[in-house]
Amino acid sequence: MHARNTVGASERNISDASVHILSKWKLIAWYWASQAALVLLVAPLWLMQGESVRGPEQPLGQWKWDWVLRVLSSWEYWGSVLGVIATLMVLQSVLVWPVRRPRARNRKGVPLWASVGAGALLGTMLAAAIFFGLGTILQINEEIRPRWLRDSNLMGWVFAAWCSGSFVAGSVLMYGFCLKRLRFGDRHEQVLAKVAATLFKGTLVEAVAILPLDVMFRRKSDCYCFAGTFWAFTLLIGAGLVTIGPAIFLPVLARRRKEWYGSRCDCCGYDMSGLDLRGVERCPECGAGWRREAREVCTRCGYDLRGIPTVDGVTRCPECGEEIR
């Protein structure tokens, strides 16, 4: 009888896991389909208005449906757009890949370096948008533009050095931030959610900052497609599309997995949800301490207090100054 109940419970768990996996992939497929539809809708309109800006007379461009139809009939256009959609999907996948499955802290899984690389690449896109914004200032005011900056080859090298330096600096800073948050007790879902939210906020801030330059250039020039702000907004739109999904869904995922983490050993991942563990401080599977004592972690910031001396029954957190008794 006991064996039959065990088999039935196992079958129900497998069924529930299968339903959860199917619902997760349905959500991902729905999101990616919506994202692709948005890109397919916006791309020809964005290119059309960039092509048809005519200075003060038409600062927002002109609707040219024949131009749109001609572009939509081009195989080069469809190859470029599909390549952009695939790139967005790949960047999103790499960014969130370490959290596709929950895991115990001490269990090996996909390292964060791939997500850090994707985040650094998105940060480089934001840095490139800043570079194009600064270039627009020089385009608007030709008299303040030094002669050496008019050399296109030299500007190409300057742009490459700017992007390379931004990628290296972003990788180092982002990796340090992730290690710090993991040391404070955050899960991978929480860390990557903060990274995605920060990048998305940076995208919005840059868009607002570049908008006045864009308006000024539209009113002055008849060739907007070569404007720095055109390419800046193109990069910002791409970075925003990549980060908005993880920034929205990763915090939700972290809250949903909180119960999962709370019922498993952090060392071996043993499931203790169905066990009576009142008064038990050790994992019955590996023997490690699965419940952290009050003085092992700061209740305010999550800092690991193991090794911090206790004075008169009080442990002071070196990170935030909280006193734990």
- Encode the chain (325 residues) as per-residue pLDDT tens digits: 434 433 443 444 444 444 455 577 788 889 999 999 999 888 888 877 767 666 556 555 666 777 778 888 888 889 999 999 999 999 999 998 888 777 766 666 667 888 999 999 999 999 999 998 888 777 767 666 666 666 778 888 989 999 999 999 999 999 999 888 887 778 888 899 999 999 999 999 999 999 888 878 777 765 655 677 888 999 999 999 999 999 998 888 888 887 777 777 766 777 777 766 666 666 777 766 555 444 456 655 666 665 566 666 667 777 777 776 6
Instruction: Determine contact, residues 120/167, Cβ cutoff 8 Å.
Output: yes
Report the run of H or E that residue 44 belongs to, with start and end.
helix 2-51
Give me the residues paired with residue 264 across strands: 271
